[in-house]
Structure 1
Amino acid sequence: MTNIQALREKIANLATQAKNLLANKGDQTWTPEEQAQFDGFTNEIEAAKRQIANIEKMREIDADKFFENAGKEGKGGKQGDDLSLNALEAVALFMRFGNNVTAEQAIQIRNAMSTTTTTEGGYTVPAEIAAMVIDAMKATGGMREIAQVISTAGGNSLNYPTSDGTAEVGEIVAENAAASAGEITFGTAAVNPYKYSSKKIALPWELISDSAIDVVQFVTARLAMRLARITNAHYTTGTGTGQPFGVMARTSAGKTGTTGQTLTVIYDDLFDLKHSVNRAYRRNAKWMMNDLSVAIVSKLKETTGRPIWEPSLTAGAPDMLLGYPVQTNDDVAVMAANAKSIAFGDFSQYIVRDVADSVIMRRFDDSAFALNGQVGFCGWMRTGGNLVDTAAVKHYANSAT
């Protein structure tokens, strides 16, 4: 399999060449040959990034043999006197064999995994597995990477305090004079959790019982991916009715595209969007857009023909647009008439709220699966989100015509 490190080094090398080309040209007008050379660099960079993403996806289902010993032991348990199981081993046994384990193993599974509904086989997973789920979710979608993520002990309603102080100013006072009143206006934004399900997945019994498969990583990754996709969609475009408020639903318009920009955006409109956000929020600002929009924006040029897109020099670091990082989020609308296709601002003002110890997993062995030689799994978690300061992020809407 292609070495990821080699691909990352290739990206860094190509990005260096692209940066050097930008620096050497300065404000000079680009020739068609120079533009083609720069486009070649950026196209190769994007191709290498996609190849890395594909390799990482395949690694989710590769056999790492991490739980080979647990699979070989099966019902017989560990050899020797030490029958203790750590949390990951307990989860692995639960996933592989369900309730078909020894009495000693059943006790240790219950000790490692808090029971929720024992008659239904549901377990609140240990912290190690919950962290794996959250990490997998963070890598999918984009919102968890740039939002502020908090965890609360309970799932009760939470009204987060809000206050926009960008228009507040002080004053000069005369000697021995009293200061004027400058009241702060506070509001609230609801950040309430919702119960999410991965939906059931059916896996062949042979796959689950195969000791060569890291069953914890395999199952967790699949469940987490589904949870990540639905929650990221709601963090991005949720309506706030029966689901969290998405960031795009809470932003106000920073710039509407000029006539004719139904499927595109122009250089001047990006500048206007950037400056529609108060400078206080631009210190920690980012761009956010769909990958298809990235393909459009990355080709924009200054009046001299110089690209305004700056490819990253470091693998894993974001590309830059007009001096600010770009976060790709495919749940942002693609460019179309009236579409809110680009957002800019301080996304740390979007709060993602997770309820602690709410990641639950259940294994299904009922006839609906057993008759097909399958084992079923489903995951749940409680989470929500809201943009608590609506002045922090603005959006670009494509022209209607």
Structure 2
Amino acid sequence: MSMQALRERLSQLNKDAKNQLEANGSKTWTKEDKEKFDAIMDEAERVQSQIEANQRVLDQAAENDFSKTPRNEPGSKKTELQQGLEIFMRKSFREMSQEDAQKVRNTMSTTTGSEGGFTVQPLVATSLIDLLKAYGFMRRVADQITTANGADLAYPTSDGTTEVGEIVAQNIPATSADPTFGTRSLNVFKFGSKIITIPIELIQDSSIDIVAMVQRRMRDRIGRAQNVYFSTGTGTAQPMGLFTAAGVGKVGATGQLTTVTYDDLVDLVDSLDAAYLDNPPSTPEMPNVEPGWMFSQSMRRVVRKIKDTAGRPIWTPSYDEGAAAKTPDRLLGYPVNINNDAPAAGANVKSIAFGNLHKYLIRDAMDVTMFRFDDSAFVSKGQIGFLAWSRSGGNLMDVNSVKTYQHSAT
């Protein structure tokens, strides 16, 4: 079955499940109702797993054989900065004319690194940072900022959820209640793309958009690495991950090493202050403001089948998912974000996060460094190597805004 057919099948299954939810309404579900819904969800899980497996194969093939290589648009004009970056990627210093070398110096730093490395100018760094901002599970929900450099940063925070006003009688002075301010560390850490090897034939092909091709590889590799640490980083010599920073809102009962119940999820939602649940829904102008869930695909398999006290499923599938993917599935009325770098279920593990996920803040530094390797180790294999260093960090700015479900210890 083709990928398109699989996506259409998944969309239809989710639509069937949603139609069943709407048709049954608020009535108590029978055994047959539950079995029918679970069968649809099981099939949807199988189809979705097949789609994701096929996509991984396609992505790996593209990585290995350079399929889907970006190409330059005929007649398109490039800025001097774009030209300088392309010259840097296509030519060694020995091959550059004086004009070429000047364009490279204007695009990159004025000093050549010991191994052909340059700290790129902010306008060039922006292109890679913008690619990163649209990549990765955590970046889809987190707020993001960019700073000119990677200097240590203590970000100011303030929690006003417990502050209460007062009634003041006539001629009685108001009581003082100064807000409490704190700071959260938002330092950046160096992430590397590992060396990306490109065949010389592609380097020499002027129709290939070499800049887009290399930057896409850098984005994929750095983005995957960053998502792991933004999810579960310890905060020591690495970013503080969302699941690490968030407090525990509900602990599973003894024996729930890999499971979660309906009551657990309800308690987890209610572990947040009501002020965090009143945010307006997401809009194109202000996305990611609605409270939501985050967990892995393996945990989704567990949660999808949970029923409420009347036997009704608490999972609401979106039939756009897998096709247009415009709207997420919902759990207890809140959107679900799947992050396969979220912790897997296990003893004492925090596997489910709920709350204002956009309170996690990702910081990108503009000091991006790029290297080009054309020594004998690469040229003898008919290749040129590229390497990028990018600096990023993350932390949960308001630890009360997100709570987690933690499995039992035994």
Instruction: Place the TM-score, normalised by the shorter chain, in its bin.
Output: 0.7 to 0.9
Q: Does 1:258 align with 2:268?
A: no
> CA shift at 1:310, angstroms?
1.6
**SS in structure 2 at match of 1:313:** coil
Asked if the contact 1:300–1:308 (Cα under 8 Å) also holds between the matched residues in 2, the reply is: yes
- Supply the distance in 1 between the matched residues of 2:111 and 2:264 (Cα, whole angstroms): 53
Displacement of 1:287 in angstroms is 0.9
Question: Which residue of 1 is the match for residue 190 of structure 2?
Answer: 195
Residues 141, 330 of structure 1: 8 Å contact kept: no
Change (3 A) 1:28 1:129: farther
Aligned equivalent of 2:361, options 351, 363, 369: 351
* More off after superposition, 193-202 vs 253-262: 193-202
Q: Which residue of 2 aligns with 1:388?
A: 397
Q: How does 1:305-344 map to 2 (within 5 A)?
A: 305-314=311-320, 315-316=324-325, 317-344=327-354
Contact 1:67/1:89, CA 8 A, preserved across alignment: no
Of 82, 89, 101, the residue aligned with 1:88 is 82
The 5-angstrom pairing of residues 1-400 of structure 1 reads: 11-26=10-25, 27-30=27-30, 31=32, 32-41=35-44, 43-44=46-47, 47-48=50-51, 61-64=66-69, 66-67=71-72, 86-99=80-93, 100-115=95-110, 117-125=112-120, 130-211=125-206, 213-282=208-277, 283=279, 284-314=290-320, 315-316=324-325, 317-356=327-366, 358-400=367-409
What's the RMSD between the two structures over aligned residues?
A: 3.1
Q: Aligned in 2, Cα 1:144/1:227: closer, same or farther, shift over 3 Å? A: same
Identity %: 44
State the 1:67 CA deviation: 3.5
Shift, 1:45, TM fit: 5.2
Which segments of 5 or more consecutive residues in structure 2 lack a partner in the other structure?
280-289
Residue pair 2:190, 2:392 contacting (<8 A) in 1 also = yes
Once the two structures are overlaid, the 10-residue window that deviates more, 102-111 or 173-182, is 102-111
CA distance in 2, matches of 1:116, 1:298: 56
- In the TM superposition, what whole-angstrom CA distance separates every residue of 1:359-399 from its partner, at most 9, and x where no partner exists? 22111112332333322111011211111211111111111
Three-state SS of the structure 1 residue aligned to 2:341 is coil
- d(CA) in 1 for partners of 2:259, 2:333: 20
String of CA shifts for 1:65-122, please: whole Å, max 9, x gaps: 623889xxxxxxxxxxx9x864434333322223223333332233334445355322
User: In the aligned structure 2, how far is the partner of 1:142 from the partner of 1:63?
Assistant: 23
8 Å contact kept, 2:268–2:403: yes
Q: Deviations over 1:190-243 (max 9, x none)?
A: 111222222223333334334464322322122222211222222222222212
Structure 2 vs 1, CA of residues 376 and 226 (structure 1 numbering), >3 Å: closer, same or farther?
A: same
Question: Contact conserved, 2:9 with 2:47, CA < 8 A, in 1?
Answer: no
Partner Cα distance (1:301, 1:161) in 2 = 42
Q: 1:324-382 CA distances to partner (integer Å, 9 max, x unpaired)?
A: 111222222100111111111112222111123x2221111123323333221110112
Matched length: 388
TM-score (norm 2): 0.83
Distance in 2, matches of 1:306 and 1:39, equals 16
| Alignment partner, residue 74 of structure 1 | none
Identify unmatched segments of 5+ residues in structure 1.
71-81
Letter in 2 for 1:95: M
Aligned equivalents of 2:41, 2:229: Cα separation in 1: 37
Instruction: Confirm or deny: 8 A CA contact 2:378 2:385 kept in the other structure.
Output: yes
